[in-house]
Structure 1
Amino acid sequence: MLDTGELRAHLIGERLAGTIATTREKSLGRYRLFAARDPRVLLGLDPERDWPFGDVLRLMGQKCGVSDDPAHASGPDVIDPDRTIAALDRFADRIAAAAALRTPVLLGTGHPHRLVDFYAALADALSSAGCPVLTPAYGVHVDIATQFGVRTRILGYVRGVAMMRETGVRGAPGTGGVHTHSPLPVRTALRAAADAQGPLPGLVIGDHGWVCGAGQLGIEAIGLADTDDPALFVGEAEGRVSEVVPLDDSVRAVSYRLLARYVLERAHLSR
């Protein structure tokens, strides 16, 4: 059984928590955009109340451990590893509850090159526990706004985890995965599931628009978020996202394996 001391050391050593690569400038810029309700950082969330910059900064201090001093405006950002561990515990407890009830689940990521293996480990364990791992809208084209204009992407699944792929890419299923913050993929998947009159997910697991988009539609959602993604934490504060784990979401893919192991061991789903 992996203990919290080993996990804490791993979080800090891999820069998943502690001093992280995300810059303070980037995080503060995102908080200002969120306060202005810029759709690029809302990730599909429609906040119930106004969130001025100062309120967002204080919330992120509470949830992640970042400095809540607006004068601290440069350098690397910081995540409190103890907050990460506490959130991982609650995340694992929710996974365990879903497994016990054999809840249909939908997993999706906007970070396919970093996080697909983490989510795939959860998908495999939940499937083995009897949870239907849903894959609606496989192969459907979705038009997503990017910094280069609207681009058409394809919704695909790798080991039970949804991700967006570039069109016209050949090779292994995970080839051509693209980074996205958009809530359109989860909306597309949920619409396809409803149109097929199949099961709808009782739990969505993921990041970015997958979590906020599902939570906004009233579906329970849990996930991972960096210090520059305030929407998930606001969603949690307003009660539309069940659990958010603060960590750097852009480190090496291998760095997340120990986190998956910890979650599954706590959820009593490890094999």
Structure 2
Amino acid sequence: MVSEGALRAHLVAARLAGVVATSRERSLRSYRLFAARDPRVLLGLDPERPWGLGELLRLMADRCGVSDDPEYVAGPDVIDPELTLRALRAFADRVGEAAARRSPVLLGTGHPHRLLGFYAALADALSAAGCAVLTPAEGRRIDITTRFGVRTHTLGYVRGVAFVREAEARRPGCETGAHAHSPLPVRTALMAAADAGGPLPGLVVGDHGWVCGAGQLGFEAIGPADTDDPALFVGEAEGLVSVAVPLDDAVRSDYYLPLTRYVLNRACLSQ
């Protein structure tokens, strides 16, 4: 059993919360792009109303704990570990509810090198609890626009967790997929599930476009988000995302293990 005190200490020590690696400059750039409705940071979300830079800064201070001082423009960003713990409780409760209902679930990540193990443990536990872990559209081609131009990817699954690989990338080191923000993978998976006559997920668990893309389409979606990912927190504020957990989403993969244990324990899914 992972106590909240021990988890809080781990969050800060591993820089999952507290002072994080994401810079203030990077976060502010994302907020400006979001305010301008740049699709690179909307992650598939279509906000109901305009969000100005000042309002976004206040929201991120409230949901993440970043400084709300507009004069603070350079240096490290900060996540309040208490806000991370509060959101993790809600995240675990949603996972537990899905398990109790034996709801079909879809899990996907744009951070396969970091978060695949976290989601895979959830997939294993949900499957053991009787949930169908969905894997629609495996191998399907997806063309994603990146800063380097349009790149062709394929949708893959490992242990029930979806991610994308660059179609031509079969070189060593690419087995666990590509970093991606796009909502196209989740849209492709959901469309394939619908075309096949279901089942459709009762819960989508993931990050980046997996959460915002699913939430925008009306599916319950939960997942972690860094300080430079305002879309998930705007989606939560507008009722399209059920839970956004503030944490650094790009630390070493083993640093997420205590979070995995905490979520599974609270969701009554420990094996």
For the pair 1:90 / 2:90, whether they are aligned, the reply is yes
| 8 Å CA contact retained: 2:112, 2:176 | no
Q: Is the 8 A contact 1:143 1:153 kept in 2?
A: yes
CA contact (8 A) 2:113 2:176 kept: no
Structure 2 unmatched runs, 5+: none
Match of residue 262 from structure 2: 262
> Once structures 1 and 2 are overlaid, which stretch shifts more, 164-173 or 65-74?
164-173
Q: Does the alignment pair 1:231 with 2:257?
A: no
Letter in 2 for 1:192: A
Q: Distance in 2 between matches of 1:44 and 1:169?
A: 25
| Shift of residue 170, structure 1, vs aligned partner | 4.1
Q: Which runs of 5+ in 1 are unaligned?
A: none
In structure 2, distance between residues paired with 1:118 and 1:166: 22
Q: Give the conservation status (yes or no) of the 8 Å contact 1:156–1:165.
A: yes
Aligned pair 1:167/2:148, yes or no?
Answer: no
2:179 aligned partner, one-letter code: H
Q: Counterpart of 2:245?
A: 245
Q: CA deviation at 1:166?
A: 1.7
Counterparts of 2:200 and 2:174, CA distance in 1: 25
How far apart are 1:176 and its partner, in Å?
5.0
Instruction: Say whether the 8 Å CA contact 2:221–2:243 is kept in structure 1.
Output: yes
Q: Structure 1 counterpart of 2:253, which letter?
A: A
Alignment of 1:106-145 (within 5 A): 106-145=106-145
Stretches of 4+ aligned residues off by more than 6 angstroms: 171-174
Q: What CA deviation, in whole Å up to 9, does each residue of 1:72-112 have, x standing for no partner? A: 11101000001001100110000000000000000000000
Task: State the TM-score, normalizing by the size of structure 1.
Answer: 0.98
Q: What is the aligned partner in structure 1 of residue 73 from structure 2? A: 73
Task: State the superposition RMSD in angstroms.
Answer: 1.2
Q: Deviations over 1:12-37 (max 9, x none)?
A: 00000000000000001100110111
Letter of the structure 2 residue corresponding to residue 99 of structure 1: A
2:156 aligned residue: 156
Query: How many residue pairs get matched?
Result: 271
| Greater mean deviation of Cα atoms: 229-238 or 176-185 | 176-185
**Contact 2:17 2:248 (C-alpha < 8 Å) held by counterparts:** yes
Q: For the residues of structure 1 that align with 2:192 and 2:219, how far apart are their CA atoms? A: 15
- Given that 1:157 and 1:173 are in contact with CA atoms closer than 8 Å, whether structure 2 keeps it comes out as no
Cα distance, 1:170–1:106 mapped onto 2, change above 3 Å: same
Question: Does the CA-based 8 Å contact 1:158-1:173 persist in structure 2?
Answer: no
1:207 aligns with 207
3-state DSSP class of the match of 2:30? helix
TM-superposed CA distance for 1:167, in Å, is 1.4
Give distance in 2, aligned partners of 1:168 and 1:130. 36
Distance in 2 separating the partners of 1:2 and 1:198: 37
Query: How far did residue 173 of structure 1 move?
Result: 11
CA distance in 2, matches of 1:163, 1:174: 12
